[in-house]
Amino acid sequence: MGKGWVATSIVPALALPLAPASGDVRLWLPAACGAAVMLGHAYPLWFGFKGGKAVATFFGAVLGLAPLLTLWVLLAWVAVIALTGFVGLASMTAAVVLPLLIAWEGAESARALLAFGVFAAALIIFTHRTNIARMRAGCEPRARRLWLFG
């Protein structure tokens, strides 16, 4: 989570004094940094492009980009895991909730955040493709201690 937060809240602030004063750069740079840190987590150069599923990095990036939306994303994650016990399904649902919330708000200045949300949801769903296959086959393990019906 830490690297997602650092990439979206600290790194853009360090780079912005060098960037033009244009509003577009100030809106898009944090979102681009969030997308880059997630991509780097999922496909790290130093480990042969085999990394994690970028969910914790996603939560950290959202915390840096839109702290209030982090609460709703986390609540979605907790609700799905409590109802189903599937951590992967909870992660994918949380990722999809972000762009839906941003689109629902409909702010014109949120285009960069919406683009980040759509990218993040697509990446997280893609990195969970084996989990999806196991859920469809009925052999995906559940987090029994977190599942209300387990």
Q: Report the 10 Å Cβ neighbour count for 148.
A: 9
- As given in the structure block, the two tokens for residue 19 are 């960037």
- pLDDT for residue 145 is more than 90: no
Q: Determine the pLDDT at residue 87.
A: 95
- The single-letter code of the amino acid at 115 is A
**Least confident residue range of 18-22, 47-51, 100-104, 132-136:** 18-22
| Distance, CA of 11 to CA of 118 (rounded, Å) | 22
Give me the half-sphere count of Cα atoms (radius 13 Å) on the Cβ side of residue 8: 27
pTM higher than 0.85, yes or no?
Answer: yes
Name the residue ranges covered by the structural domains of the chain: 2-137
**Nearest partner of 2 among 51, 37, 49, 43, judged by Cα:** 37
